Amino acid sequence: MERRTIGATALQVGAVGLGCMPMSWAYSGSRQRGEESVRALHTALDQGANLLDTADMYGPFTNELLIGRVLRERRREAFVSTKVGLLVGDQHIVANGRPGYVRRACDASLRRLQTDVIDLYQLHRADPEIPVEETWGAMADLVRAGKVRALGMCAVGARASRRSGTGVGRPASGGLHDDTVRQLERVQQVFPVAAVQAELSVWSPEALERLLPWCEARGVGFVAAMPLGNGYLTGTLTPGQGFEPDDVRARHPRFTAEMMAANQPLLVGLRRVAGRHGPGVTPAQVALAWVLGRGRHVIPVPGTKHERWVTENAGAAELTLSELDLAELGDLPAAQGSWD
């Protein structure tokens, strides 16, 4: 698989990574099977999709434990990205950016992951009660201590104030990621940012407006979360099929039966482009190829727990979209269904 670089750190990863959250959190709890997920992780490493993206809050904690089972055998082949800064309660999630907590959380993640170093340690959310510079300074100390190789930040503007009337080629305006950019500018003065993670897909292109250019101008890697639109852009979901109560899509405005039906033109466009590239090419691969084409500093991390989809997603790294393809995708209608 093509290799890409995370920021100025010269850390190399496969062009397509693996989002590990669905293996143990937020998606269809009854379908989460540890052994199947372990096989998917091994398949990802076999395919060169070695960026494994997780967080201590996924589970919580069980996602890191699952990945640790594989890292115990194949640590040298993997690029491990985990996150800190969010605590999960019974009915709520709260931010904690206190330096002491960051240090303890890192040590706990290292134990669960069965490794002595985390390749990319990301701040999941900034704590509004703690200056972000203090949190980032504690994370920087972990780099100096040899426990972490590079630091990243997750965008705080995702899924807020989406506006209609903008297609793939015309991202929304209105400062969706303004808060994130301001935080990035602040922490950059403390210690270099190696990567930024934010949602980016053909139905959520807003990061193209300001966040992606900010990263490109500074040699910062961009980890594209949810590049397949929570599974919608794979074309494998049926409008009105329903989701389990613990599945995030059960409360997701774009996954009502009405909105899933209304957004079918997006899938029609993806299928049309896929058809031009041969019978083995899928809408998901086209969607991922579009993300990959946003720049060589972009690494999508599609989430899955199945070997089959890991292999299909990895194949997107071999797909090159033509100018005709890109023009057609750029003319797709905006996704319907607000995140507000």
**Run of H or E residues at 225:** strand 221-225
Cβ-based neighbour number of residue 337 at 10 Å: 17
List the structure tokens of 82: 């985990």
Cα dist. 115→71, 74, 223, 279 in Å? 7, 10, 22, 42
Q: Each residue of 161-185: b (16+ CB within 10 Å) or e? A: ebeeebbbeebbeeebbeebbebbe
Interhelix angle 132-144/178-188, rounded to 10 degrees, is 50
- Residues tagged active-site: 58
Give the distance, in angstroms, between the CA of residue 201 and the centroid of all CA atoms in the same chain: 10
Is 65 buried (19+), middle (13-18) or exposed (0-12) by CB count in 10 A? middle
- Give the separation between CA 105 and CA 150, rounded to whole angstroms: 16
> Could you give phi then psi for residue 310, rounded to 5 degrees?
-60, -45
> Could you give phi then psi for residue 258, rounded to 5 degrees?
-65, -45
Query: β-strand 93-95 against 86-88: which pairing, if any?
Result: antiparallel
- Give the separation between CA 86 and CA 59, rounded to whole angstroms: 12
- Give the separation between CA 328 and CA 336, rounded to whole angstroms: 18
